[in-house]
Chains A and B, each alone.
Chain A
């Protein structure tokens, strides 16, 4: 048991229980779709290719994630979309956006995050906001807030917990225990 302990301690001590792998999450922000890409340890996936496909499988657009791991685009079509992140070296993640949550906009345009902020700014002469504008501003602010919370929840769901790790080790011992059991029966 000493050895088991030693191996496990060496391994777990150095670890902050973070892992390798890429994730992609998509949010609707205003009339665009915002993709957040990061490795399992939380660091952003920088400058990697991201592709969006229409439901027919035809490529809609392609772009690169920014320094914070974000990629923003307006779909231009209202149908199921598939977004694929190629993080290189065999790493790939994809996600499907349901047609119902794809915002309706004119043309497919790749862009960076925060681009749309400017569009909400009202010109100084319109002091009284009409209901539509107000609704839009509130919606955008709300979406931003909700997205950050959603991101947090999703990330927590994906992150590896100690319970999972210990569970996994348990499975391994179990599997080899069963193997041993059958080996032994054969020998007898």
Chain B
């Protein structure tokens, strides 16, 4: 789900970089002494998640975990994802330096939407509620990211509907797997460290 170097047009890259910078500015302001370790852990998890590879038909996809990062970090997702993507680009040649901004937006915006939609359900008193919230957060994170990638590929002249359909189909299994993984992590955190899910992010 990383956009490679030289695929999208310059205006998209610039717009992406600007949006990512703005998002990071907001995110960094919300970071404090308390939540920084959590941000680092989730940034690492995001960094490693892209190595978990799921073969689907002719192509291949990987876990993203942006839904999980989103519901746990809120706006701080921006810097967390940016750092993760930067290292993926440098160390694994995923995506690229010029596409860093676009890729950050593609991953972080869905994450924040997940945060706004599901962070309340995840703190539910009932385990089932938390699990369902986690599942949908994982799935929604991927779904929206796919839509954003397809949108940014519009600038290359690829037909939106075609690309989107193909891409979406390829990612349905990823959405399901990601949902399950996210739900399990949420359930686990709920038992072990409920304060991580709590309201320390504003």
A183 touches B93 (CB 8 A): no
The interface residues of chain B lying within 8 Å CB-to-CB of A6 are: 185, 188, 192
A40–B60 Cα distance when bound, in Å, is 9
B48→A169 contact, CB < 8 A: yes
Q: Please, which residues of chain A bring their CB within 8 A of the CB of B153?
A: 89-90
Is the Cβ of B4 less than 8 Å from the Cβ of A176?
no
- What band does the interface of chain A fall in when counting residues whose beta carbon is under 8 Å from B? 35 or more
Decide: B52 and A11 in contact? CB cutoff 8 A.
Answer: yes
Q: Do B62 and A20 have beta carbons less than 8 Å apart?
A: yes
Does A90 contact B44, Cβ atoms closer than 8 Å?
no
A176, B192: Cβ atoms closer than 8 Å: no
Interface membership of A105, Cβ < 8 A: no
Q: Are B41 and A7 in contact (CB under 8 A)?
A: yes
Q: Contacts A17-B51, A41-B60, A165-B48; is A2 near B192 (CB within 8 Å)?
A: yes
Least CB distance from A123 to B in Å reads 41
CB distance from A21 to the nearest CB of B (A): 5
Count of chain B residues near A, Cβ 8 A: 60
Report if A10 contacts B (CB, 8 A): yes
Which of B2, B36, B185 contacts A20 (CB under 8 A)? B2
B 48-78 binary contact with A (CB < 8 Å = 1; else 0): 1111110100111111010000000000000
Q: How far is the CB of A14 from chain B (nearest CB, A)?
A: 5
* Chain B nearest CB, measured from A58 CB (Å): 18
Query: Is B45 in contact with A92, judged by CB distance below 8 angstroms?
Result: no
Tally A-B pairs: CB < 8 A: 150
* B39 and A176 contacting across the interface, CB-CB below 8 Å: yes
Partner of B3, one of A19, A90, A173, A180: A90
Min Cβ gap A176→B in Å is 4
**B160 beta carbon closer than 8 Å to chain A:** no
**Which A residues touch B167, using CB under 8 A?**
89
**What's the Cα separation between A8 and B93 when bound, in Å?**
21
Cβ–Cβ contact A8 & B44, under 8 A: yes
Is A149's CB within 8 Å of the partner chain B? no
> Which of B8, B48, B87, B170 makes the CB contact (< 8 A) with A90?
B8
Taking the closest CB of chain B, its distance from the CB of A188, in whole angstroms, is 11
B33 touches A168 (CB 8 A): no
Measured CB to CB, the nearest residue on chain A to B193 is: A3
**Chain A CB within 10 A, most for which of B36, B58, B163:** B58
18 of the cross-chain contacts (CB-CB < 8 Å) are: A3-B189, A7-B41, A8-B44, A11-B45, A11-B63, A15-B52, A19-B50, A19-B62, A21-B2, A21-B4, A40-B53, A41-B55, A88-B163, A90-B1, A90-B2, A94-B6, A168-B44, A184-B33
Other contacts beyond A3-B192, A6-B192: 4, CB < 8 A:
A43-B55, A92-B5, A92-B6, A165-B91
A-B interface, 7 closest residue pairs, ranked by CB to CB distance from nearest: A176-B40, A90-B3, A15-B52, A92-B4, A180-B36, A7-B45, A168-B87
